[in-house]
Amino acid sequence: MFRKLYDWTMRQAARPKAHRAMAVVSFMESSFFPIPPDVMLIPMCLANRDQAWRYALICTIASVIGGIAGYAIGYFLIETVGQAIIDFYGYAEKWSAFEAAYDKYGIAVVLLMGFSPLPYKVATIASGATHFAFAVFVISSVISRGARFFLVAGLLWKFGPPIRDFIERRLVVLMWIFVIVLIGSFVVIKYLV
């Protein structure tokens, strides 16, 4: 099953219009969507290493624009759409504490959540909800999202064939690890963070 999924993803990643789908996923992930763009960025970089930097740039731009949409959700729609997204990611009970921490450490929160696997969309919505300085939010987003996507692209550009060989030889184990980490992230976010 994983082999077929991997082969299908690699075929999709090699398609001429794959970058458009990746941009859409990057945009949506920054404001509401749970799946990170890395699931497309990684196979696209592996399938076409000479385009790795371009793919990282597309992810960064689309992600920052999606972050701006998340900011708008927090700024204008916190009581409706924003609250539904916050509830979905398990931050409802901790929202007031998160807002207080955000007021104090806003830049650090955007930088951390923009770079890490933590849900960046919560930071984008919180930025709007707390009326965090828009220009600082955008600059922090460009830095953190760019660092994340260019790091991934750079590693795949530099070590592409050995990484691809490693993934293909251990595909089933790596896919199970990915599934466990993805589910575990949601559990940690919901119950521990």
Amino acid identity, position 191: Y
- Whether the per-residue pLDDT at 9 is higher than 90: the answer is no
Q: 108 or 138: whose pLDDT is higher?
A: 138
pLDDT in tens, 61-105: 999 999 999 999 999 998 889 888 888 877 777 777 777 777 777
CA proximity to 81, closest of 134, 29, 125: 125
Centroid of chain to Cα 73 = 17
Q: Cα 111 to chain center, whole Å?
A: 13
Burial 68-106 (b: 16+ CB within 10 A, else e): bbbbbbbbebbeebbbebbebbbbeeebeebeeebeeeb
- Domain count of the fold of the chain: 1
**pLDDT for residue 60 is more than 70:** yes
3-class secondary-structure state, position 30: coil
Higher pLDDT, 119 or 68: 68
How many whole angstroms separate alpha carbon 37 and alpha carbon 39?
5
- Burial classification of residue 17, based on how many CB atoms lie within 10 Å of its CB (0-12 exposed, 13-18 middle, 19 or more buried): exposed
**Which pLDDT score is estimated for 69?**
96
What's the rounded mean pLDDT across residues 2-10?
Answer: 63
pLDDT for res 104: 77
The yes-or-no verdict on residue 169 having pLDDT over 60 is yes
Q: Torsions phi, psi of 27, nearest 5?
A: -60, -50
- Which residues constitute the domain of residue 84? 2-191
pLDDT at 33: 79
Higher pLDDT, 44 or 57: 57
- Burial readout 151-175 (b: 16 or more C-beta within 10 A, e: otherwise): ebbeebbeebeeebeebeeeeeeeb
Res. 190 pLDDT band, cuts 50 70 90: low
